[in-house]
Amino acid sequence: MVKKLKILLIEDDMIEIMKLNRTISTLKLDHTIIEANNGEDALEILEQKDNLPDIILLDLNMPKINGIEFLKILKKDEILRYIPTIILTISNNQRDLLECYKTGVAGYIIKPLKYEDYGHGISLCT
């Protein structure tokens, strides 16, 4: 039996949000998706320490606070640092990858261009 997860998706691209939601629905996963359009919105959501997500899916390229900046803020917090965070991005830049792992990311997934390929990466997360 698959555990029902509360997933915080931090993504500014509505098409990517729709792809993820459609993939979770197609895979018949009963996860709860909480959406934040940028790092600032995500930090506001995470202020509710009694209702934290089980996992965070984080885009790197966002307005206001980019993914690496958000990750650094997250890892400085005594409670939030333990939430597994997976980067979900189009960037295959080696420097980004190394910086994310150095900061403490749990995983790094390159977003597929086609919707059909999206399920492969998501199934790795569950």
pLDDT at 45: 95
pLDDT at 119: 53
Counting beta carbons within 10 angstroms of the beta carbon of residue 84, is it exposed (0 to 12), middle (13 to 18) or buried (19 or more)?
middle
What's this model's pTM, rounded to 2 decimal places?
0.84
- CATH superfamily for 6-125 is Response regulator (3.40.50.2300)
The one-digit pLDDT tens for each residue of the chain (126 residues) are: 567 889 999 999 898 888 888 888 888 888 899 999 999 999 999 998 888 999 999 999 888 888 899 999 999 999 999 999 999 888 788 898 899 889 999 988 887 655 455 555 454 444
**Domain edges within the chain:** 6-125
